[in-house]
Structure 1
Amino acid sequence: MPTLRQPQPRGAGEARAQPRDAPNFPSSIPVRWEPYRNWARTVTVDGVWVCEPRDTAEVVSLVNWARVQGFRIRASAGRHNFTPLTVSDGADANRVLLVDTRKHLTGLRMVSTDPAAVQVGAGVPSRLYSRSWRTRDTGWPQPR
């Protein structure tokens, strides 16, 4: 496992200690502390809590936990953003939980054809969605 650098506040001379654990975190859901940066490298944070819920029941459990513990939950998939929508550059992210949807929340299925309806998991990248439905007569506009 790679060694993670200790979080440091911007402009401060001494390192801020990595939080020991996320308080009272649901024991059935693995959580880790790791550096964050968006794909454009315009937003960088020394450390943030990250987890990968396996299903919607775990997402509900995480939201309920965050409410009680005073955490903010942010969805995190491809990190394709240029704004501090997920976290702010250099922020103290001790009370932020990133919910990474890419590993488990990737279901994709046709619900009906008339009218056309599809159920897409939060972790499905748009490139896979468009590739999957491009050859089907769904009535949905296709990305070009």
Structure 2
Amino acid sequence: MPHQQKIVYGKLVRDRIPEIITADGQIPRVRVLDEPDLLPALIAKLHEEAEEVATAEPNARLRELADVREVLAALTIASGFTEVQVEEAAASKRAERGGVHPTPLARRGTHPRRVKLGCPSLRRTSADGSR
């Protein structure tokens, strides 16, 4: 009898993973999470996917960002919100506090004239364009 490899995920997986495991001739053992277990599992998955974005090679980053988006969509629904509500909240926060593309690095509330940023394009520029 051939040795079968047992893979234990112990984490959220995409909903087609059991189907893929079955197509590979293996028997998936899964459980659908109850509501109290779902949010913590989604948050853990978001951390996992964010770490994968952080460590991805540039050519793999798009797929990792897609994974983050997928988890955020599930987390939005599980939290009782809609995508529209999240977009509206993001727009409101952007109007109030600004966006993050690109954003300067904040350093503990130091006076803007004393902030030294590593990237010359992010350094403070005066109204006349001088530094």
Instruction: Give me the TM-score of the superposition, normalised by structure 2.
Output: 0.22
Pair member with larger Rg: 2
Greater relative contact order, per chain length (Cα 8 Å cut-off, separation 6+): 1
**Could you say which structure has the higher helix fraction?**
2
Instruction: Give me the TM-score of the superposition, normalised by structure 1.
Output: 0.21
